[in-house]
Amino acid sequence: MVVDLDKYLKPGKDHYLALGLEGSANKLGVGVIKHNKGPLSSTNRAEKSGGRIIKQALATAKIAGKDIDVICFTQGPGMGAPLQSVVIAARTLAQLWNIPIVGVNHCVGHIEMGREITGAENPVVLYVSGGNTQVIAYSKQRYRIFGETLDIAIGNCLDRFARTLKIPNEPAPGYNIEQMAKKGKHLVPLPYTVKGMDLSMSEDLCFSLQETLFSMLVEITERALAHVDSNQVLIVGGVGSNQRLQEMMKLMIQDRKNGQIYATDERFCIDNGIMIAHAGLLSYRTGQTNQLNNTVCTQRFRTDEVFVKWRDD
């Protein structure tokens, strides 16, 4: 099957423009992305986060609302209130500018942004963030989940651990744990009970937590590689920017013939509006849009529920 990605191109235009709204958690991101006619690799991006972000994003991209072809928003998974805020904004803009609207799965947004940035073709994906931890591989126009945490996501675990040890929240708990872990030398058996304000072992505990968690992730990813006979790993999600995780994954993949590891930097690992715009535009280019009455957000929107129409491999 050959997918026509230019079927819905407006007369007289040689490119598509999408506005993406990401709001699955406690931050809002807006991104504008451009797909030129033809190959998907021809992409330009502009992104802003913060106050008056939609106007700022449009100004940064040097475009007006009338230039946008489609509004893309995070439909799930995520936290209820932020998702509802984003869908209201998306509906409003779609009606104001009289353009289509596309709901995007947050996890698929991470995957497609990772593939676009790194050039990974058909990797096993390790998606690791504050709300989700999944090992994923593509098959028959679905991103199939081969394994996931059933109790707590890795990023959430790191956040709670940081609060227990009174580790600062800025710029991010996971980042601060990573920096402290670099100074750790002793692997402490876990679980370990923190007594009162005794933080003398904080660095060793951070080191031990990372080694324990990441070893588990590497093992299940290696099993998925063997199962699908792949030699590529793509790491996405906020925790994916952790250098130690990337290092451990690289050591594993080196044992496989022509093994390759792909990871984006923190600009694209963390949640952002561009990934929603990109994945939404892929859907739009294959004729997938939402009616306004079908834009209800879904907190438990599964990765494997999405029909990946834009891929035919």
- What the block records as the tokens of 291 is 């009616």
Beta-carbon contacts of 170 under 8 Å, excluding residues fewer than 6 positions away, are none
- What the block records as the tokens of 171 is 């710029």
- What the block records as the tokens of 276 is 């929603």
pLDDT tens for 167-191 read: 988 888 898 999 999 999 888 877 7
27 neighbors 7 (Cβ within 8 angstroms):
no
- The C-alpha angle 161, 165, 168, rounded to 5 degrees, equals 90
pLDDT tens for 295-312 read: 999 999 999 999 999 998
Is residue 4 very low, low, confident or very high in pLDDT (cuts 50, 70, 90)? low
- The C-alpha angle 43, 99, 282, rounded to 5 degrees, equals 35
Task: Choose from 3-7, 9-13, 89-93, 256-260 the range with maximum mean pLDDT.
Answer: 89-93
For residue 43, is pLDDT > 50? no
d(CA 73, CA 90): 6
274 neighbors 113 (Cβ within 8 angstroms):
yes
DSSP symbol at 311: -
- The C-alpha angle 50, 54, 59, rounded to 5 degrees, equals 105
DSSP, collapsed to helix, strand or coil, labels residue 194 as coil
123 neighbors 235 (Cβ within 8 angstroms):
no
What is the pLDDT, as a whole number, of residue 165? 85
d(CA 48, CA 30): 6
Q: For every residue of 86-152, which 3-state class applies, written as one string?
A: HHHHHHHHHHHHCCCEEEEEHHHHHHHHHHHHHCCCCCEEEEECCCCEEEEEEECCEEEEEEECCCC
For residue 105, is pLDDT > 80? yes
- Domains of the chain in start order, with CATH, are 15-110+270-305 (3.30.420.40)
Least confident of 8-17, 65-74, 160-169: 8-17
Q: Which of 22, 24, 26 minimizes the C-alpha distance to 71?
A: 22
Beta-carbon contacts of 243 under 8 Å, excluding residues fewer than 6 positions away, are 178
